Structure 1
Amino acid sequence: MGNITEEENKLFAELRTYNPDIIDDGVADEEGYLSAKYKIMYVLKEVNGGKSWSLREFVRNGGRPQTWDNIARWTEAILDLDAERPWSYWEKDNEARRNRILKMICAVNVKKTSGGHTSNADEIYQAAMDNSAILQKQLNLYDPDIIICCGTEKAFVDACYKNQELDWKMTSRGIWYFVDDGKVVISFAHPEARVKDCFLHYALMDAVKEIRLTRIL
Protein backbone atom coordinates (compact mmCIF):
# COMPACT_ATOMS: atom_id res chain seq x y z
CA MET A 1 0.00 0.00 0.00
CA GLY A 2 1.21 3.49 -0.78
CA ASN A 3 0.90 6.72 1.10
CA ILE A 4 -2.65 7.60 0.08
CA THR A 5 -4.12 4.23 1.06
CA GLU A 6 -2.25 4.20 4.36
CA GLU A 7 -3.41 7.70 5.23
CA GLU A 8 -7.00 6.89 4.27
CA ASN A 9 -6.97 3.78 6.45
CA LYS A 10 -5.69 5.80 9.40
CA LEU A 11 -8.29 8.51 8.87
CA PHE A 12 -11.27 6.17 8.69
CA ALA A 13 -10.05 3.95 11.52
CA GLU A 14 -9.98 7.06 13.70
CA LEU A 15 -13.41 8.20 12.52
CA ARG A 16 -14.90 4.80 13.31
CA THR A 17 -13.76 5.06 16.91
CA TYR A 18 -16.30 7.91 17.19
CA ASN A 19 -18.93 6.44 14.87
CA PRO A 20 -18.71 2.77 13.84
CA ASP A 21 -21.28 3.36 11.07
CA ILE A 22 -18.85 5.47 9.00
CA ILE A 23 -18.53 4.43 5.34
CA ASP A 24 -15.03 5.04 4.00
CA ASP A 25 -14.49 6.74 0.66
CA GLY A 26 -11.69 8.19 -1.45
CA VAL A 27 -9.29 6.69 -3.96
CA ALA A 28 -10.53 3.43 -5.44
CA ASP A 29 -7.09 2.23 -6.53
CA GLU A 30 -4.01 4.28 -5.70
CA GLU A 31 -1.91 3.16 -8.64
CA GLY A 32 -4.71 3.78 -11.12
CA TYR A 33 -5.49 7.21 -9.68
CA LEU A 34 -1.90 8.42 -9.64
CA SER A 35 -1.10 7.12 -13.11
CA ALA A 36 -4.12 8.71 -14.81
CA LYS A 37 -3.61 11.68 -17.12
CA TYR A 38 -5.71 13.78 -14.75
CA LYS A 39 -6.43 13.03 -11.11
CA ILE A 40 -10.21 13.36 -10.96
CA MET A 41 -12.13 13.67 -7.70
CA TYR A 42 -15.93 13.36 -7.68
CA VAL A 43 -17.68 14.95 -4.72
CA LEU A 44 -20.98 13.19 -4.00
CA LYS A 45 -23.57 13.50 -1.25
CA GLU A 46 -23.90 10.19 0.61
CA VAL A 47 -24.32 6.49 -0.04
CA ASN A 48 -27.74 4.90 -0.09
CA GLY A 49 -27.85 2.32 2.66
CA GLY A 50 -25.66 0.21 4.93
CA LYS A 51 -23.22 0.83 7.73
CA SER A 52 -19.45 0.58 8.08
CA TRP A 53 -18.63 -0.57 4.56
CA SER A 54 -16.10 0.61 2.00
CA LEU A 55 -17.06 2.77 -0.94
CA ARG A 56 -13.45 2.51 -2.10
CA GLU A 57 -13.75 -1.27 -2.43
CA PHE A 58 -17.19 -1.02 -4.01
CA VAL A 59 -15.94 1.38 -6.69
CA ARG A 60 -12.72 -0.58 -7.22
CA ASN A 61 -14.88 -3.63 -7.99
CA GLY A 62 -16.91 -1.75 -10.58
CA GLY A 63 -19.78 -0.29 -8.55
CA ARG A 64 -23.22 -0.61 -10.09
CA PRO A 65 -24.95 0.97 -13.09
CA GLN A 66 -26.75 3.63 -11.05
CA THR A 67 -24.39 6.56 -10.52
CA TRP A 68 -21.30 4.72 -11.70
CA ASP A 69 -22.12 4.15 -15.37
CA ASN A 70 -22.17 7.90 -15.87
CA ILE A 71 -19.10 8.54 -13.74
CA ALA A 72 -17.15 5.90 -15.68
CA ARG A 73 -18.25 7.45 -18.97
CA TRP A 74 -17.35 10.96 -17.80
CA THR A 75 -13.95 9.79 -16.61
CA GLU A 76 -13.06 7.94 -19.79
CA ALA A 77 -14.09 10.93 -21.88
CA ILE A 78 -12.12 13.43 -19.76
CA LEU A 79 -9.02 11.28 -19.91
CA ASP A 80 -9.31 11.18 -23.71
CA LEU A 81 -10.79 14.60 -24.50
CA ASP A 82 -9.66 14.70 -28.11
CA ALA A 83 -11.64 11.61 -29.03
CA GLU A 84 -15.04 12.41 -30.57
CA ARG A 85 -17.34 9.50 -29.86
CA PRO A 86 -21.06 9.14 -30.63
CA TRP A 87 -23.52 8.27 -27.89
CA SER A 88 -23.85 4.78 -29.39
CA TYR A 89 -20.28 4.15 -28.17
CA TRP A 90 -21.06 5.28 -24.63
CA GLU A 91 -24.22 3.19 -24.36
CA LYS A 92 -22.26 -0.05 -24.78
CA ASP A 93 -20.00 -2.13 -22.54
CA ASN A 94 -20.80 -0.22 -19.37
CA GLU A 95 -19.92 -3.00 -16.96
CA ALA A 96 -16.53 -3.51 -18.58
CA ARG A 97 -15.99 0.25 -18.60
CA ARG A 98 -16.80 0.54 -14.90
CA ASN A 99 -14.40 -2.27 -14.03
CA ARG A 100 -11.65 -0.63 -16.05
CA ILE A 101 -12.15 3.11 -15.54
CA LEU A 102 -13.37 3.44 -11.95
CA LYS A 103 -9.99 2.30 -10.68
CA MET A 104 -8.68 5.69 -11.83
CA ILE A 105 -10.94 7.93 -9.76
CA CYS A 106 -11.42 9.35 -6.33
CA ALA A 107 -14.98 9.50 -4.96
CA VAL A 108 -15.71 11.44 -1.78
CA ASN A 109 -19.02 11.85 0.03
CA VAL A 110 -19.55 14.99 2.08
CA LYS A 111 -21.73 12.91 4.43
CA LYS A 112 -19.88 9.85 5.71
CA THR A 113 -22.91 7.82 6.80
CA SER A 114 -25.70 6.47 4.64
CA GLY A 115 -28.95 8.18 3.82
CA GLY A 116 -32.11 7.26 2.01
CA HIS A 117 -33.10 7.11 -1.63
CA THR A 118 -33.59 10.90 -1.67
CA SER A 119 -30.98 13.06 0.03
CA ASN A 120 -32.01 15.75 2.50
CA ALA A 121 -30.26 18.94 1.38
CA ASP A 122 -30.06 20.44 4.88
CA GLU A 123 -28.60 17.24 6.32
CA ILE A 124 -26.04 17.05 3.52
CA TYR A 125 -24.97 20.64 4.05
CA GLN A 126 -24.72 20.24 7.82
CA ALA A 127 -22.72 17.03 7.43
CA ALA A 128 -20.28 18.85 5.15
CA MET A 129 -19.85 21.58 7.76
CA ASP A 130 -19.36 18.98 10.49
CA ASN A 131 -16.86 17.12 8.29
CA SER A 132 -15.04 20.24 7.14
CA ALA A 133 -11.69 19.23 8.66
CA ILE A 134 -12.02 15.68 7.28
CA LEU A 135 -12.89 16.89 3.79
CA GLN A 136 -9.98 19.31 3.84
CA LYS A 137 -7.63 16.49 4.85
CA GLN A 138 -8.92 14.38 1.98
CA LEU A 139 -8.57 17.24 -0.49
CA ASN A 140 -4.97 17.79 0.55
CA LEU A 141 -4.18 14.08 0.46
CA TYR A 142 -5.65 13.43 -3.00
CA ASP A 143 -4.37 16.68 -4.57
CA PRO A 144 -6.70 16.29 -7.57
CA ASP A 145 -6.38 18.14 -10.86
CA ILE A 146 -10.14 18.21 -11.47
CA ILE A 147 -12.88 18.24 -8.83
CA ILE A 148 -16.41 17.61 -10.08
CA CYS A 149 -19.05 18.57 -7.53
CA CYS A 150 -22.07 16.41 -8.28
CA GLY A 151 -24.82 18.60 -6.86
CA THR A 152 -22.59 19.31 -3.87
CA GLU A 153 -20.80 22.52 -4.81
CA LYS A 154 -22.19 24.73 -2.02
CA ALA A 155 -21.63 22.15 0.72
CA PHE A 156 -18.14 21.21 -0.48
CA VAL A 157 -16.98 24.75 -1.23
CA ASP A 158 -18.28 26.13 2.06
CA ALA A 159 -16.54 23.28 3.89
CA CYS A 160 -13.18 23.42 2.12
CA TYR A 161 -12.86 26.97 0.80
CA LYS A 162 -14.76 28.93 3.45
CA ASN A 163 -11.98 31.45 4.12
CA GLN A 164 -11.08 32.07 0.48
CA GLU A 165 -12.31 34.56 -2.07
CA LEU A 166 -13.08 32.50 -5.14
CA ASP A 167 -13.14 33.68 -8.72
CA TRP A 168 -16.10 31.76 -10.13
CA LYS A 169 -16.33 31.76 -13.92
CA MET A 170 -19.00 30.47 -16.26
CA THR A 171 -18.39 28.58 -19.49
CA SER A 172 -20.10 29.85 -22.60
CA ARG A 173 -22.79 27.20 -22.11
CA GLY A 174 -23.46 27.95 -18.46
CA ILE A 175 -21.33 25.57 -16.36
CA TRP A 176 -19.73 27.27 -13.36
CA TYR A 177 -16.18 26.58 -12.20
CA PHE A 178 -13.23 28.13 -10.45
CA VAL A 179 -9.52 27.39 -10.25
CA ASP A 180 -7.62 27.22 -6.98
CA ASP A 181 -3.92 26.45 -6.86
CA GLY A 182 -4.13 24.65 -10.20
CA LYS A 183 -7.20 22.63 -9.21
CA VAL A 184 -10.27 23.05 -11.41
CA VAL A 185 -13.49 22.85 -9.37
CA ILE A 186 -16.61 22.32 -11.51
CA SER A 187 -20.19 22.71 -10.33
CA PHE A 188 -22.20 20.01 -12.06
CA ALA A 189 -25.23 17.76 -11.67
CA HIS A 190 -25.45 14.48 -9.82
CA PRO A 191 -24.89 11.49 -12.16
CA GLU A 192 -28.41 10.27 -11.34
CA ALA A 193 -30.03 13.62 -12.12
CA ARG A 194 -33.37 13.30 -13.92
CA VAL A 195 -31.89 14.29 -17.24
CA LYS A 196 -30.97 12.04 -20.14
CA ASP A 197 -27.54 10.53 -19.62
CA CYS A 198 -26.41 11.78 -23.02
CA PHE A 199 -27.33 15.37 -22.10
CA LEU A 200 -25.30 15.18 -18.90
CA HIS A 201 -22.37 13.58 -20.65
CA TYR A 202 -21.93 16.06 -23.45
CA ALA A 203 -22.68 19.06 -21.22
CA LEU A 204 -19.80 18.09 -18.94
CA MET A 205 -17.42 17.26 -21.78
CA ASP A 206 -18.23 20.55 -23.48
CA ALA A 207 -17.37 22.40 -20.27
CA VAL A 208 -14.13 20.52 -19.65
CA LYS A 209 -13.00 21.11 -23.22
CA GLU A 210 -13.66 24.84 -22.91
CA ILE A 211 -11.84 25.01 -19.59
CA ARG A 212 -8.92 23.20 -21.17
CA LEU A 213 -8.75 25.86 -23.87
CA THR A 214 -7.93 28.38 -21.15
CA ARG A 215 -4.72 26.32 -20.70
CA ILE A 216 -5.60 25.30 -17.14
CA LEU A 217 -5.60 21.57 -17.98
Structure 2
Amino acid sequence: MKNFDEEIKKVGRHFDRPVIFDGIVNEIEYNKSDIKILWILKEANSTGENESWDMRDHINEKLKTETGIRKGWSQTFKKIIYVTNGILNHLSWCDELYHPSYKPEVIDELKKVAYINVKKTGGGAKANPNEISDYYKFSKTLLFNQIEEFKPNIIIFGGTYKFFKNDLNLKFNDFGSCVSALEKGTLYIDAYHPMYTIKEETYFNDILETVNLSKSKL
Protein backbone atom coordinates (compact mmCIF):
# COMPACT_ATOMS: atom_id res chain seq x y z
CA MET A 1 0.00 0.00 0.00
CA LYS A 2 1.31 3.45 -0.92
CA ASN A 3 2.77 5.43 2.01
CA PHE A 4 2.95 8.95 0.44
CA ASP A 5 6.28 9.77 2.07
CA GLU A 6 7.63 11.47 -1.06
CA GLU A 7 4.51 13.64 -1.37
CA ILE A 8 4.80 14.60 2.30
CA LYS A 9 8.43 15.62 1.73
CA LYS A 10 7.24 18.03 -0.99
CA VAL A 11 5.03 19.75 1.59
CA GLY A 12 8.07 20.26 3.79
CA ARG A 13 10.12 21.68 0.94
CA HIS A 14 7.34 24.08 -0.01
CA PHE A 15 7.00 25.45 3.53
CA ASP A 16 10.72 25.02 4.30
CA ARG A 17 10.08 23.00 7.43
CA PRO A 18 10.85 19.42 8.55
CA VAL A 19 7.88 17.14 8.02
CA ILE A 20 6.14 14.67 10.27
CA PHE A 21 5.21 11.57 8.30
CA ASP A 22 1.81 9.98 8.84
CA GLY A 23 -0.53 7.36 7.43
CA ILE A 24 -1.41 3.77 8.29
CA VAL A 25 0.18 3.04 11.65
CA ASN A 26 0.79 -0.68 11.03
CA GLU A 27 -0.17 -1.96 7.61
CA ILE A 28 -0.46 -5.62 8.67
CA GLU A 29 -2.76 -4.81 11.60
CA TYR A 30 -4.78 -2.31 9.54
CA ASN A 31 -5.40 -4.80 6.75
CA LYS A 32 -6.46 -7.50 9.24
CA SER A 33 -9.05 -5.23 10.86
CA ASP A 34 -12.66 -5.68 9.72
CA ILE A 35 -13.35 -2.02 10.45
CA LYS A 36 -10.85 0.47 9.07
CA ILE A 37 -10.68 3.78 10.92
CA LEU A 38 -8.96 6.94 9.74
CA TRP A 39 -8.39 9.74 12.25
CA ILE A 40 -7.73 13.18 10.74
CA LEU A 41 -6.21 15.69 13.14
CA LYS A 42 -4.78 19.19 12.65
CA GLU A 43 -1.06 18.95 13.37
CA ALA A 44 1.43 17.30 15.68
CA ASN A 45 2.27 19.30 18.79
CA SER A 46 5.93 19.46 17.91
CA THR A 47 8.08 22.56 17.51
CA GLY A 48 11.77 23.23 17.37
CA GLU A 49 12.90 19.96 15.77
CA ASN A 50 15.54 20.21 13.08
CA GLU A 51 14.74 16.82 11.62
CA SER A 52 11.68 15.01 10.35
CA TRP A 53 10.12 12.18 12.34
CA ASP A 54 7.37 9.64 11.83
CA MET A 55 4.02 9.67 13.63
CA ARG A 56 3.45 6.07 12.55
CA ASP A 57 6.60 4.90 14.31
CA HIS A 58 5.73 6.97 17.36
CA ILE A 59 2.31 5.34 17.72
CA ASN A 60 3.67 1.90 16.85
CA GLU A 61 6.67 1.85 19.14
CA LYS A 62 6.83 4.82 21.51
CA LEU A 63 3.31 5.80 22.56
CA LYS A 64 2.87 2.86 24.96
CA THR A 65 4.92 2.72 28.15
CA GLU A 66 4.75 0.44 31.18
CA THR A 67 2.59 3.03 32.94
CA GLY A 68 0.31 3.95 30.03
CA ILE A 69 0.52 6.70 27.43
CA ARG A 70 3.89 8.37 26.90
CA LYS A 71 4.25 11.56 28.93
CA GLY A 72 2.94 14.63 27.12
CA TRP A 73 0.71 12.72 24.69
CA SER A 74 -2.20 11.69 26.90
CA GLN A 75 -4.41 14.72 26.24
CA THR A 76 -4.55 13.98 22.54
CA PHE A 77 -4.50 10.20 22.53
CA LYS A 78 -6.60 9.11 25.51
CA LYS A 79 -9.95 9.87 23.85
CA ILE A 80 -8.68 8.43 20.57
CA ILE A 81 -7.76 5.19 22.33
CA TYR A 82 -11.14 4.98 24.08
CA VAL A 83 -13.09 5.53 20.86
CA THR A 84 -10.93 3.24 18.74
CA ASN A 85 -11.12 0.45 21.32
CA GLY A 86 -14.89 0.87 21.57
CA ILE A 87 -15.42 0.68 17.82
CA LEU A 88 -13.06 -2.20 17.07
CA ASN A 89 -14.05 -4.34 20.04
CA HIS A 90 -17.76 -3.48 20.17
CA LEU A 91 -17.55 -2.01 23.66
CA SER A 92 -19.75 0.48 25.49
CA TRP A 93 -18.64 2.96 28.12
CA CYS A 94 -19.93 0.56 30.79
CA ASP A 95 -17.86 -2.36 29.49
CA GLU A 96 -14.26 -3.07 30.39
CA LEU A 97 -13.02 0.06 28.64
CA TYR A 98 -9.74 0.21 30.50
CA HIS A 99 -7.86 3.43 31.18
CA PRO A 100 -4.48 3.14 29.41
CA SER A 101 -2.65 3.54 32.73
CA TYR A 102 -4.43 0.45 34.13
CA LYS A 103 -4.05 -1.67 31.02
CA PRO A 104 -1.43 -0.24 28.61
CA GLU A 105 -2.23 -2.99 26.07
CA VAL A 106 -5.31 -1.03 24.95
CA ILE A 107 -2.92 1.47 23.34
CA ASP A 108 -2.01 -1.26 20.84
CA GLU A 109 -5.48 -0.87 19.28
CA LEU A 110 -4.08 2.21 17.53
CA LYS A 111 -1.88 -0.07 15.44
CA LYS A 112 -5.06 -0.97 13.57
CA VAL A 113 -5.88 2.58 12.41
CA ALA A 114 -4.65 5.21 9.99
CA TYR A 115 -3.75 8.59 11.44
CA ILE A 116 -3.01 11.72 9.41
CA ASN A 117 -2.63 15.42 10.06
CA VAL A 118 -3.84 18.17 7.75
CA LYS A 119 -0.60 20.04 8.41
CA LYS A 120 2.35 17.79 7.69
CA THR A 121 4.78 19.79 9.84
CA GLY A 122 4.77 20.41 13.58
CA GLY A 123 2.89 23.05 15.53
CA GLY A 124 2.56 24.43 19.01
CA ALA A 125 0.14 23.80 21.83
CA LYS A 126 -2.54 25.83 20.05
CA ALA A 127 -3.13 25.37 16.34
CA ASN A 128 -3.28 28.37 14.00
CA PRO A 129 -6.39 27.88 11.82
CA ASN A 130 -5.13 30.18 9.07
CA GLU A 131 -1.84 28.32 8.85
CA ILE A 132 -3.57 24.95 8.75
CA SER A 133 -5.90 26.26 6.05
CA ASP A 134 -2.84 27.22 3.97
CA TYR A 135 -1.45 23.72 4.40
CA TYR A 136 -4.81 22.20 3.48
CA LYS A 137 -4.98 24.18 0.24
CA PHE A 138 -1.47 23.14 -0.73
CA SER A 139 -1.87 19.51 0.39
CA LYS A 140 -5.47 18.90 -0.68
CA THR A 141 -4.61 16.41 -3.40
CA LEU A 142 -2.28 14.52 -1.06
CA LEU A 143 -4.91 14.37 1.70
CA PHE A 144 -7.63 13.06 -0.60
CA ASN A 145 -5.20 10.56 -2.15
CA GLN A 146 -4.41 9.27 1.34
CA ILE A 147 -8.11 8.85 2.05
CA GLU A 148 -8.69 7.06 -1.26
CA GLU A 149 -5.70 4.74 -0.81
CA PHE A 150 -6.49 3.80 2.78
CA LYS A 151 -10.16 3.05 2.00
CA PRO A 152 -11.45 3.61 5.55
CA ASN A 153 -14.94 2.58 6.61
CA ILE A 154 -14.95 5.33 9.23
CA ILE A 155 -13.31 8.75 9.03
CA ILE A 156 -13.19 10.75 12.25
CA PHE A 157 -12.35 14.41 11.82
CA GLY A 158 -10.92 15.68 15.11
CA GLY A 159 -11.84 19.34 14.71
CA THR A 160 -10.73 19.28 11.07
CA TYR A 161 -13.87 18.89 8.96
CA LYS A 162 -14.10 22.66 8.50
CA PHE A 163 -11.07 22.49 6.20
CA PHE A 164 -12.68 19.74 4.06
CA LYS A 165 -16.20 21.16 4.17
CA ASN A 166 -16.32 22.90 0.80
CA ASP A 167 -14.82 19.91 -0.99
CA LEU A 168 -16.89 17.17 0.66
CA ASN A 169 -20.15 19.09 1.12
CA LEU A 170 -21.71 16.39 3.31
CA LYS A 171 -25.18 16.50 4.83
CA PHE A 172 -24.83 15.63 8.49
CA ASN A 173 -27.10 14.16 11.14
CA ASP A 174 -26.74 15.36 14.72
CA PHE A 175 -25.42 13.01 17.41
CA GLY A 176 -24.92 15.27 20.40
CA SER A 177 -21.35 16.52 20.46
CA CYS A 178 -20.65 15.24 16.93
CA VAL A 179 -22.39 15.02 13.57
CA SER A 180 -22.08 12.32 10.93
CA ALA A 181 -22.89 11.44 7.34
CA LEU A 182 -22.94 8.05 5.63
CA GLU A 183 -21.84 8.29 2.00
CA LYS A 184 -21.12 5.33 -0.30
CA GLY A 185 -20.31 2.98 2.56
CA THR A 186 -18.07 5.39 4.45
CA LEU A 187 -19.11 7.01 7.72
CA TYR A 188 -17.80 10.57 8.09
CA ILE A 189 -17.82 11.88 11.66
CA ASP A 190 -17.21 15.53 12.50
CA ALA A 191 -16.14 15.45 16.15
CA TYR A 192 -14.33 17.80 18.48
CA HIS A 193 -10.56 17.65 18.65
CA PRO A 194 -9.63 15.07 21.32
CA MET A 195 -8.02 17.81 23.42
CA TYR A 196 -11.25 19.84 23.49
CA THR A 197 -12.75 20.22 26.96
CA ILE A 198 -15.56 17.69 26.86
CA LYS A 199 -16.28 14.71 29.11
CA GLU A 200 -14.59 11.58 27.85
CA GLU A 201 -17.81 9.63 28.32
CA THR A 202 -19.78 12.11 26.19
CA TYR A 203 -17.14 12.15 23.46
CA PHE A 204 -17.09 8.35 23.40
CA ASN A 205 -20.84 7.76 23.58
CA ASP A 206 -21.80 10.24 20.87
CA ILE A 207 -19.30 8.84 18.37
CA LEU A 208 -20.18 5.23 19.23
CA GLU A 209 -23.89 5.96 18.82
CA THR A 210 -23.53 6.99 15.19
CA VAL A 211 -21.04 4.17 14.50
CA ASN A 212 -23.36 1.52 15.94
CA LEU A 213 -26.32 2.83 13.94
CA SER A 214 -24.29 2.67 10.71
CA LYS A 215 -22.25 -0.52 11.15
CA SER A 216 -24.50 -2.70 9.01
CA LYS A 217 -24.00 -0.32 6.07
CA LEU A 218 -20.23 0.00 6.27
Same fold (TM over 0.5): yes
Name the residue aligned to 1:53.
53
Classify the secondary structure of the residue corresponding to 2:127: coil
- Provide the residue aligned with 1:109 in structure 2: 117
Residue 174 to residue 101, structure 1, CA distance change in 2 (3 Å)? closer
1:40 counterpart letter in structure 2? I
Q: Single out whichever of 183-192 and 87-96 deviates more from structure 2.
A: 87-96
In structure 2, distance between residues paired with 1:61 and 1:69? 16
Higher strand share: 2
- Report the secondary structure of 2:39's partner residue: strand
Q: Is the 8 A contact 1:171 1:210 kept in 2?
A: no
Partner in structure 2 of residue 11 of structure 1 = 7
Aligned to 2:155: 147
Q: Which of 12, 21, 24 is residue 21 of structure 2 equivalent to?
A: 24
Identity %: 25
Among residues 30, 34, 37, which one is paired with 2:34 in the alignment?
Answer: 37
SS at match of 2:120: coil
TM-score by length of 2: 0.83
Question: Is 1:191 matched up with 2:188?
Answer: no
Distance in 1 between residues matched to 2:178 and 2:148, nearest whole Å? 25
Shift of 1:110: 0.4
1:174, distance to aligned residue in structure 2 (A): 6.2
**Kindly tell me: are residues 190 and 174 of structure 1, through their superposed partners in 2, closer, same or farther at Cα, counting changes over 3 Å?**
closer
2:105 to 93, 96, 100: 96
* Deviation sequence 1:169-209 (CA, Å, 0-9, x none): 31454632223332111100111111122221122112212
**Hey, what does 2:207 align to over in structure 1?**
204
Deviation, 1:77, is 0.6
Q: 1:147: how far off?
A: 0.2
1:181 counterpart (162, 166, 184): 184
Q: 1:76 aligns with which of 85, 94, 104?
A: 85
Structure 1 runs not aligned, ≥5 long? none
Q: Relative contact order, CA 8 A, sep 6+: which one is greater?
A: 2
Deviation for aligned residue 1:13: 4.6
* C-alpha deviation, 1:138, in angstroms: 0.8
List runs of 5+ in structure 2 lacking aligned partners.
64-69
Deviation at 1:103, TM superposition (A): 0.5
Tell me the C-alpha RMSD between the 2 structures: 2.3
Structure 2 counterpart SS, 1:114 = coil
Aligned residues: 204
Q: Deviations over 1:126-180 (max 9, x none)?
A: 221221011011111111110000000111344xxx2x653x1314546322233
SS of equivalent to 1:91: coil
Q: Distance in 1 between matches of 2:10 and 2:135?
A: 17
